[in-house]
A and B are shown apart, each in its own frame.
Chain A
């Protein structure tokens, strides 16, 4: 398998459109790295540059220490699985997986060995004689993966490979891909716009927006310590609640004022606001829905972080309840225990877990607390 290095990678199309700007990343051998971001953020373009399907306008791409900028895709030792894959309709599963190798004139016995090995890894051994029509969506997806595996590449590139599957199958295939990474010990670069897919699959995640890398980190760190407002809002579902708050420093105490609500900033976070000179300035306060509590015990112990509102929507999801309400004109969500007694139209009191708050500079949108 292989390590990759992308240094100052850029993509500018002939029509002037700049899709990727100064992309820097080192990918370790056997890493499962995810490029995630909204549509048009440059994640697929970056993947296609790694594949050699797009020319690199600037910067250097290295695979195992060798510069690959001008190397033809077929000489890069990569394999790809893309969103709109198609199986050859009149061929069996075996032939579908073997086809690429046949084209490259690989000896028959070697093809047989590679296909059977890939089929074993993907649990397709019993389906090798079937035609695509007789396969389920998940099985077809596994055959598409198999076509990549038989190439035995240094790097696997996957561009939204699960997008055409239904939600249930996607969850199932996520597990399969995760297992595949363990079995193959491969370096995988995976593109998705789905943050849940990113969080569950990747060892590291690259969050992109407008062709610029926003943050590269582990799923846990991205969730707990997002570097800016975009990452904070993009990672996590339901997304983080944001509201404008004015910072007030009074001696040793720091508070955040949101309309009529005054929230006391805990000691662990005060320093950043004082040192950053944010007194009397408006900042963006972020809090994840699970850190907004409605339990009486929590409210009683958090008198300095209470907010009041009226429940607009009650949404029961089985294991949890989402409560939607407004605070100073901003919609907020609380993820609470299904035993909650609150219902639509009720006057509600919540307490924020101030140890878990995020604060962002209103102008630069960068985090203040990290």
Chain B
């Protein structure tokens, strides 16, 4: 029987991973199917044992027991004790070859940087941290990744990054921390494209609260009438008022409205929510409540 395109693809993948070239001769479709299964198993076994990408992927998702990490790392020539930073890159659309090629060329493998695909839209860049790298340098690298992918791949990306990782045992924790940074960042600071793991503010707190507690909190403030959303103008007014540290004169000036109009709008908000956001305490409650509403809306409609 002639080789099918599927068999050719499986053979080519095996060659890519192991360097082995196999010739397959089959007489019946059953034999062909058997050969395909064996080749796939062989590929998988090699991938698990010798593929850095697979190893790091498993390590980050906590699928490798701690006692096995250093031994497998040594087999793959990955330095177990080295300062590294993990950048988690997420694209708006499915990761395409262009994004991966660009990242591969931005961080060539000689530099001991590992690119690990973590799903349809995510890729991890595990990069050594030089002794001279400051926090500002790390942040600059994250921005460089965003800008370069914007410019070259013409795609929207967001990047979160971890703190310093001293050895491979810390990698699963760093990945979790960075994934959380990305989720919290996208939810609460959606206007940004770079999310450092240690700058999530109150968003981190809210994100980690159980939904039931959030709902109880909103009920306590608004009763049964939880405002789903305010109209655009009211939202803009509230945001501007908060940006100006509850300063009525400055807010009305920036919104090009008379101060009495602004006061009237703020009173309408008070009527609707029971919160007088001219008072610091109510403003703080309101701010947290809107973040919680936002969070719940995203949780319910992911």
- Seen from chain A, the residues whose Cβ lies within 8 Å of a Cβ on chain B are 12-19, 21, 45, 48, 51-54, 72-74, 78-86, 88-91, 99-100, 103, 147-148, 210, 364-365
Known contacts A53-B150, A85-B144, then 12 further A-B pairs from the complex at CB < 8 Å, ordered by chain A residue = A15-B291, A16-B238, A18-B239, A51-B154, A80-B154, A84-B140, A86-B106, A86-B144, A100-B152, A103-B97, A147-B152, A365-B253
- A72 CA / B154 CA spacing, docked (Å): 9
- A19 CA / B232 CA spacing, docked (Å): 12
Q: Is the CB of B239 within 8 A of A84?
A: no
Q: Is the CB of B106 within 8 A of A88?
A: yes
User: Interface range on chain B: under 10, 10 to 19, 20 to 34, or 35 or more?
Assistant: 35 or more
> B189 within 8 Å of A by Cβ?
yes
Q: Which residues from 154 to 178 on chain B have a C-beta closer than 8 Å to any C-beta of chain A?
A: 154-156
Contact of A148 among B151, B256, B294 (CB under 8 A): B151
> B79 within 8 Å of A by Cβ?
no
Residues of B within 8 A of A12 (CB): 232, 235
Residues of A within 8 A of B101 (CB): 103
Q: Which residues from 249 to 302 on chain B have a C-beta closer than 8 Å to any C-beta of chain A?
A: 253-254, 256, 290-291, 294, 298
Q: How far is the CB of A16 from chain B (nearest CB, A)?
A: 5
Q: Is the CB of A210 within 8 A of B256?
A: no
> B148 within 8 Å of A by Cβ?
yes
Residues of B within 8 A of A91 (CB): 105
- A89 CA / B105 CA spacing, docked (Å): 8
Q: How far is the CB of A73 from chain B (nearest CB, A)?
A: 4
Where chain B touches its partner, the secondary structure class is helix
Q: Which residues from 116 to 149 on chain B have a C-beta closer than 8 Å to any C-beta of chain A?
A: 140, 143-144, 146-148
Q: Is the CB of B294 within 8 A of A84?
A: no
A82 with B191, Cβ < 8 A, contacts A12-B232, A88-B105 known: no
- A301 CA / B171 CA spacing, docked (Å): 77
- A220 CA / B98 CA spacing, docked (Å): 44
- Seen from chain B, the residues whose Cβ lies within 8 Å of a Cβ on chain A are 97-98, 101-102, 105-106, 108, 110, 140, 143-144, 146-148, 150-152, 154-156, 187-191, 232, 235-236, 238-240, 253-254, 256, 290-291, 294, 298
Q: How far is the CB of A124 from chain B (nearest CB, A)?
A: 18
Contact of B147 among A21, A85, A88, A103 (CB under 8 A): A85
A45 with B191, Cβ < 8 A, contacts A18-B235, A18-B239, A103-B101 known: yes
Q: Is the CB of B236 within 8 A of A21?
A: yes
In the complex, residue of chain B having the shortest beta-carbon distance to the beta carbon of A90? B108
Q: Is the CB of A15 within 8 A of B189?
A: yes
Q: Is the CB of B240 within 8 A of A82?
A: no
Which 9 A-B pairs give the minimum distances between C-beta atoms?
Answer: A82-B147, A73-B154, A84-B147, A84-B143, A88-B105, A84-B144, A13-B190, A74-B154, A13-B191
Q: Is the CB of A17 within 8 A of B191?
A: yes
Residues of A within 8 A of B143 (CB): 83-84
- A69 CA / B97 CA spacing, docked (Å): 25
Q: Is the CB of B154 within 8 A of A52?
A: yes
Question: What are 16 A-B pairs at a CB distance below 8 A?
Answer: A13-B190, A14-B190, A14-B294, A17-B191, A51-B154, A52-B154, A73-B154, A74-B155, A80-B150, A80-B151, A82-B150, A85-B144, A88-B105, A99-B102, A103-B97, A103-B101
Q: How far is the CB of A14 from chain B (nearest CB, A)?
A: 5
- A36 CA / B243 CA spacing, docked (Å): 21
Residues of A within 8 A of B238 (CB): 16
A82 with B236, Cβ < 8 A, contacts A13-B190, A364-B256 known: no
A210 with B240, Cβ < 8 A, contacts A81-B151, A86-B144 known: yes
Residues of B within 8 A of A89 (CB): 106, 108
In the complex, residue of chain B having the shortest beta-carbon distance to the beta carbon of A18? B236
Contact of A85 among B105, B148, B190 (CB under 8 A): B148
Q: How far is the CB of B240 from chain A (nearest CB, A)?
A: 7
- A16 CA / B234 CA spacing, docked (Å): 10
- A103 CA / B156 CA spacing, docked (Å): 18
In the complex, residue of chain A having the shortest beta-carbon distance to the beta carbon of B97? A103
A90 with B105, Cβ < 8 A, contacts A17-B191, A19-B191 known: yes
Residues of B within 8 A of A103 (CB): 97-98, 101-102, 152
Residues of A within 8 A of B151 (CB): 79-82, 85, 147-148
Residues of A within 8 A of B98 (CB): 103
A51 with B239, Cβ < 8 A, contacts A45-B191, A91-B105, A210-B254 known: no
Q: How far is the CB of A59 from chain B (nearest CB, A)?
A: 13
- A125 CA / B267 CA spacing, docked (Å): 66
- A42 CA / B233 CA spacing, docked (Å): 18
Q: Is the CB of B150 within 8 A of A51?
A: yes
Q: Is the CB of B105 within 8 A of A15?
A: no
Residues of A within 8 A of B254 (CB): 210
